[in-house]
Structure 1
Amino acid sequence: MAELRGLAEQQGPSVTAPGATAASAEPSLPSQLADTTRRIAGDLGDQFNNLIAVIGNLFAGHPAGDNGRFDMTTFISATLNLGLVILATLVLFWVLRRLAGPLFTRLSHWSRHGAGKTPVLRLVLCVALAAAIDVLVVGLAYLGGNLMATFMVGETGELTTQASLFLNAFMVIELLKAGLRALFSSRYEGLRLLPIDSAEAGYWNRWLALLVGLLGYGVMVLEPLININISPTLAQGVNTLIMFGAFFYAVAVILKNRRRLYRAINDKAEQSTMAAGKVSLKLLARTWHLFALAYFVVVLLLTLLRPADALPFVLFATLKTLGIVVLGILLSTLLSQTIGRRITLSDDLRRKLPLLESRLNSYVPNALRFVRMLMVAAIILLVLNAWDALDLPAWYASESGGKLMGKVIGVAFILFVAAALWVTMASLIEHKLNADTGNGEPSARARTLLSLFRSALAVTLVTMTAMIVLAEIGINIGPLIAGAGVLGLAIGFGAQKLVQDIITGVFIQIENAMNTGDVVTVGGITGTAEKLSIRSVGIRDLNGTYHIIPFSSVDTVSNYMREFGYHVGEYGIAYRESIDEAIAQLHNAFDELAAGDEHKHDILEPLEVAGVIALADSSVNIRVRIKTVPGMQWAVGRAYNRLVKQHFDHAGIEIPFPHTTIYFGAGKEGEAPPANLRVMQQKFDADGRPHGQPESGNKVIAARPESGNKVIAARPESAVTEDAPNDRD
């Protein structure tokens, strides 16, 4: 479009009527396009008429043409001599290519099966070496052709000019074909940059090589020879015919392969593991023929509009475009093979930081997508710059371009720093929480505090990164911060209980009041703290009931799991028993407990005997205390109670228990109701049970005579049981 506009402007200033404004003097873009199209059509018509006239002169026997000088004998001799130069150059080039074949085979094998380096790096290195060999072969063939032109044929000026035209065209065309072989190498799998199969590569290599040869030798050899020896008009017409022939040939090949290439690109899209790559390939599959047709249309128009310098411009722009696109593909492949593949850490690092590997493997693909987006944008800008559609250095030097690039780089740097900071801090927290790092199993308090700190760090990093990125791209975050403050104030008033929960929870954790796994009493509930968050604590009591207690309702935290615990036991003995003997038996029970395998590691200090703490109604109470590791005081107490009972029974020390006294009552005159007595002629034990009878046997029921309120238990020797009335004697 810029070329069309420039050519329209070069036609000279348009004539305007007197008094016309500057705005009306400037033709509109549709007018410029119409004038340019009309001029192209006129030039093509003139060329066609001149071409018909020159051909008519040739057939009429007047071959002098425009320049008035044409010698058929000299033309035939020069053509034969030039043919010898062409034949010798092509034969030498074929021989050199055959000699270089083993080198290409070895490079291809190392590229596909070699060890060391990333596969894409091996591919690039081998393709570069093969291209260097290709260039060397072309150069040697070019030098050989010059030598043959000098020593085989002669040194006439005409021959030197004609041979130079061919040799220069040979050099340019074969270098272009060497570049095509680097992209579409059909014979050597390991020297092909594009990821396509051999059949596909061979097809496109042949088609493009034929197109390059047709255009190159036609424009760089045939057209100048006709211009020198026959007629410039005929040469210009031939040049136009060559360009139109190449254009229609290219259009026919593109339309013929439209569906086939569509299916091939779609298959590549289905194999892509990234959503963005899959969408891009599917879009390319639908539109590739449009880009190809647009390219050849632009080439044809430039050739018609700028016949003098169109070919060099198109050639260099095409080479730049191919180089940029191929470089982008290689960089993307390199990123996929080096950074995009799964990261595997060492066993020692994985043991110390178990979540680092999975975290890196989740972050790296996202970073790779961002880098690929930047690469696609850079490729588009560089391609536009190669075709003079955009002056990239001037755009970057402008204020808008500099700001945009600065924002992109700034956002990328902020995101990178935030991700690196999160990975570093989270890894350090995991290092502290991991029992295999050398510091041993972390305490419950450390686990709780570090988990809360990690959550707070994540929220803080996300918030700060979002704010900084918004500020970097030019969004005013002042109102956003003010709105967030007002919203936070409203939430604070509306959720005072929640705020109190969180603040109390933070101080409970800082003061290490309790941790998960501790046995505590919180809010009147005693149990094990199973879950501890910044707002509440989950308690599992002895019955298995799970209680969730918010910290705002916690006034006191009783923790039974700090440093050590005590079993405090109070043991009552009968008044008739010896206190010293009872204390001795308590020590014996403790010694047996401390010597056993089950609880000897749970006892921290010897038995503490506080002594007699109370003279109760029916017992003398003795208090003891056993110091244990935290959490084991209950198990140690249960085991000690069992041993105390056994030792008291063995020593005959009575442990008092409640007794029931039956009172039969008395009348106004002092008489008592009759009582049934069972007299057994058998000895009784101290509890009133006959010897050899179980506890559920007969018991002694005592009668209360008038004199006193004492219980008199009679143990007659006879086994006679009788009922007797109440006797006052």
Structure 2
Amino acid sequence: MPWIILLLCSLFLAPVQAAVSPAAAAAATTTTSTASADSAPAAEPTLEEKKAAYAALANVLENEQSRTELIDQLRKVAATPDAEPVPAITPVEEAQEETTVLENVTALGREYGGELASRFAQLYRNISTASHKPFNQQTFFNAFTHFAMLAGAVFVFYWVLRAGAIPLYRKMGEWGRKKNKARSSWLHLPAMIVAAFVIDLLLLSLALTVGQVLIDVMNAGSRTIARQQGLFLNAFALIEFFKAILRLIFCPRVPSLRPFPVSDASARYWNTRLSGLSSLIGYGLLVAVPIISNQVNVQIGALANVVIMLSITVWALYLIFHNKAHIQHNLIALADRSMAFFSLFIRAFALIWHWLACAYFIVLFFFSLFDPGNSLKFMMAASLRSLAIISVAAFFSGLLSRWIAKTITLSPQLQRNYPELQKRVNGWLSMSLKLARILTVCVAIMLLLNAWGLFDFWQWLTNGAGEKTVDILIRVSLILFFSAVGWTLLASLIESRLASDIHGRPLPSARTRTLLTLFRNALAVIISTITVMIVLSEIGVNIAPLLAGAGALGLAISFGSQTLVKDIITGVFIQFENGMNTGDLVTIGPLTGTVERMSIRSVGVRQDTGAYHIIPWSSITTFANFMRGIGSFVANYEVDRREDETKANQALRDAVEELMTREDIRILVIGEPNFAGIVGLTNTSFTLRVTFTTQPLKQWTVRFALDAMVKKHFDLADIRPPVQTVQVMQPGAEATQMNAAAGGALPPANPTV
């Protein structure tokens, strides 16, 4: 993995000093000589300075661009009048040749590879040829005796303190578990876990205080012995603090205080091995290596450092790959029990945790080789900061995830007046909390990089780029907030008019629903477009080309969609004029049917045959609506010409009067029927007419009932309908003879009515 090697190299390599170009050196020499010429004669340059100047001049003259700039400056100096100051000749920068990506990678690898080789060469020199003082056996064993006495006393005292606190820890855990059974008392167990960790730190502080007192008593008046004992006490504080964190996580001796669901065997396994690793690393690097280098030999100390860290690295890699599958299985099981947001990160971590752990110990190995004194402190400090950052980020992300799952419930009055407001507010809050959770993860990642020295977060935050980024984020957040508030208010007002009668209000007409839906969609497009444009301008995008492109695109679309635009505009005006609504019976051209759907582009009409027609608004020039105000019909009844006109009229009036006595028919009729008398006369019949005004779409109901009633009364009054008569003309004798001569019968004569 090349990126890991590059990361490791970047961690421990020292900064490379910048090289000065020959042209810059020559320019600096020229400027210095010119400045000192007025005061004192310039000193004779050395041979090396002359060679560097010649090489710089050759480089300038070799490049066409730099040569042209130098000639222009010389001509400008030559053309300067005597009264004006002579302009100084500025250094001509050498033109940098463009390099390929492969050349850059090769140069970078060569640079870091050379630094790595030099580090190993320095390590080899420390082991093989470093100067050292002769070994004094008596001094060494005297110091070792006092050191061992102090270490034993501190270890025993600290072990006694911790052993005496075990019963207290057990009582705290049992009490916390007992209280935790009630859902309202969930805080007691975490409080007991934190209190046990604080007590552990207090015991460690007490042991350190006693150790410091013992150093003053047991140093035998030797500064060397006191310094070695101080090294032990510092390492003891650092290592035991790390072990206290391990006990907080695994708690092998008091399972009731264990914060995570880990078995007793696994807790003891990992606590023992990680404690052993930390002890070997800490006491080996911070105590053993400095004492061996000071008391025995520098070479032996450097070699002991290599052996200790190599052993620790091999052991750690063995533990990692030996438990890889088991830990991965447990992490996946934990992801299955976690929230969806955390499950994604846990599953990703389960796939790469062993590589991260390997990289951690490999980096520690190289750090300890090149900087034994500070490597462990840096790694442990970075690890603790990383744990703290991850814990805080996980806490806030968990809070945000719980808030996302919750919803805001508005009052029944608001829900009745604005039926979609609660859903929309919860949607905006959920989206905002999700963005805050993503921002938390991004900040946590940058802080983790800062903890490991890969990224200076605080300098970036207070520098130009960081300040600009934060300023842009704040302004974009405000823009999105006000856009969301404006859209929510306007859409809620529109949707309050679209509320159905389920909330106790009458259902709005199809015309109103169509127009309000059109306005809502138009507002959505306008607000979204304006918001996107403002946000793009805030983040530094030049929106002028976008506006020009949008104008050209809109012009092209307008030419290509003239019919669509015509449909929309025509539909809007028809809706404004309240021409038709859903459920109306209309006649559009040759089609007569019921309006079932209206959109901003077309209207859907269902015929009585069941056929469904979609008619664009632009194709409607005229239409008839049978649902506007009233309905009416004209009933004509033909009577035989030989019938009495007075008798026929009376029979018709009797039929209408009996019809009007029916309640189900009378409520459908508006006003009184209008009798027109005889309105038509032929050689066989005359026509009587009566006119009715009814409620919309009820004219056929009244007409069918009237026809039945008229037939009844006409039959009772013996009023006959007109009868068709047929007169058959017989052929004459001449025709008969001609037909016989022709050998066929004549066709029948055409009947006359």
Q: TM-score, normalised by structure 1?
A: 0.71
Task: Map 1:9-88 to 2 at 5 A.
Answer: 18=49, 19-20=51-52, 30=110, 34-35=114-115, 37-43=117-123, 45-47=125-127, 57=135, 62-64=136-138, 69-70=139-140, 72=142, 76=145, 79-80=148-149, 82-88=151-157
Superposed displacement of residue 590, structure 1: 0.8
Report what 1:537 is aligned to: 603
Task: Provide the C-alpha distance between the structure 1 equivalents of 2:315 and 2:699, rounded to a whole number of angstroms.
Answer: 96
User: Does 2:155 align with 1:91?
Assistant: no
Report what 1:688 is aligned to: none
Superposed displacement of residue 276, structure 1: 11
Report what 1:586 is aligned to: 656
Task: Provide the C-alpha distance between the structure 1 equivalents of 2:597 and 2:543, rounded to a whole number of angstroms.
Answer: 38
Task: Provide the C-alpha distance between the structure 2 equivalents of 1:649 and 1:190, rounded to a whole number of angstroms.
Answer: 104
> Of 447, 455, 465, which aligns to 1:400?
465
CA RMSD of aligned residues (A): 4.7
Distance 1:130 1:322, change over 3 A: same
Task: Map 1:190-209 to 2 at 5 A.
Answer: 203-209=269-275
Deviations 1:177-225, CA, capped at 9 Å, x for gaps: 3333444556788976778777656544433232223333444555677
Deviations 1:649-686, CA, capped at 9 Å, x for gaps: 45x273x6222234466999xxxxxxxxxxxxxxxxxx
Contact 2:400–2:434 under 8 Å retained in 1: no
* 3-state SS in 1 of match to 2:647: coil
Task: Provide the C-alpha distance between the structure 2 equivalents of 1:624 and 1:233, rounded to a whole number of angstroms.
Answer: 126
Report what 2:549 is aligned to: 483
* 3-state SS in 2 of match to 1:616: strand
User: Does 2:449 align with 1:384?
Assistant: yes
Task: Provide the C-alpha distance between the structure 2 equivalents of 1:460 and 1:28, rounded to a whole number of angstroms.
Answer: 51
Superposed displacement of residue 624, structure 1: 3.6
Contact 2:277–2:312 under 8 Å retained in 1: yes
Report what 2:509 is aligned to: 443
Superposed displacement of residue 505, structure 1: 0.6
User: Does 2:672 align with 1:608?
Assistant: yes
Letter in 1 for 2:690: R
Distance 1:665 1:86, change over 3 A: closer
> Of 6, 14, 17, which aligns to 1:6?
14
Report what 2:200 is aligned to: 137
* 3-state SS in 2 of match to 1:660: coil
> Of 173, 176, 191, which aligns to 1:104?
173
Deviations 1:626-650, CA, capped at 9 Å, x for gaps: 432x333333443344344445545
Task: Provide the C-alpha distance between the structure 2 equivalents of 1:624 and 1:126, rounded to a whole number of angstroms.
Answer: 90
Contact 1:525–1:541 under 8 Å retained in 2: yes
* 3-state SS in 2 of match to 1:433: coil
Bigger share in helix: 2
- Report the more deviating stretch, 449-458 or 290-299: 449-458
Distance 1:317 1:435, change over 3 A: same
Distance 1:160 1:496, change over 3 A: closer
Deviations 1:582-636, CA, capped at 9 Å, x for gaps: 43542331122x2x4xx56x5374x4132325442134634342432x3333334
Percent pairwise identity: 34
User: Does 2:551 align with 1:503?
Assistant: no
Contact 1:89–1:142 under 8 Å retained in 2: no
User: Does 2:188 align with 1:115?
Assistant: no
Task: Provide the C-alpha distance between the structure 1 equivalents of 2:266 and 2:470, rounded to a whole number of angstroms.
Answer: 40
Superposed displacement of residue 384, structure 1: 1.7
Contact 1:422–1:458 under 8 Å retained in 2: yes
Report what 2:388 is aligned to: 323
- Report the more deviating stretch, 641-650 or 541-550: 641-650
Task: Provide the C-alpha distance between the structure 1 equivalents of 2:140 and 2:416, rounded to a whole number of angstroms.
Answer: 89
* 3-state SS in 2 of match to 1:608: coil
Letter in 1 for 2:201: V
Deviations 1:455-507, CA, capped at 9 Å, x for gaps: 43444455444444444444333333333333333333344333222110111
Task: Map 1:167-566 to 2 at 5 A.
Answer: 169-184=235-250, 203-220=269-286, 241-262=307-328, 264-265=330-331, 278=344, 284-339=349-404, 341=405, 370-408=435-473, 429-431=494-496, 432-566=498-632
Contact 1:582–1:648 under 8 Å retained in 2: yes
Letter in 2 for 1:657: P
Superposed displacement of residue 523, structure 1: 2.5
Report what 1:627 is aligned to: 694
Q: TM-score, normalised by structure 2?
A: 0.69
Deviations 1:330-385, CA, capped at 9 Å, x for gaps: 3334433431x485968968888887788789888876765554444323221221
* 3-state SS in 1 of match to 2:579: coil
Contact 1:518–1:559 under 8 Å retained in 2: yes
Contact 2:409–2:422 under 8 Å retained in 1: yes
Letter in 1 for 2:557: I
Superposed displacement of residue 78, structure 1: 6.3
Task: Provide the C-alpha distance between the structure 1 equivalents of 2:426 and 2:119, rounded to a whole number of angstroms.
Answer: 61
Deviations 1:496-525, CA, capped at 9 Å, x for gaps: 333222110111122221122111122332
- Report the more deviating stretch, 285-294 or 32-41: 32-41
Report what 1:722 is aligned to: none
What 5-or-longer segments of structure 1 have no aligned partner? 11-15, 669-729
Distance 1:303 1:371, change over 3 A: same
Letter in 1 for 2:616: P
Letter in 1 for 2:194: A
Task: Provide the C-alpha distance between the structure 1 equivalents of 2:596 and 2:252, rounded to a whole number of angstroms.
Answer: 68
Task: Provide the C-alpha distance between the structure 2 equivalents of 1:196 and 1:351, rounded to a whole number of angstroms.
Answer: 51
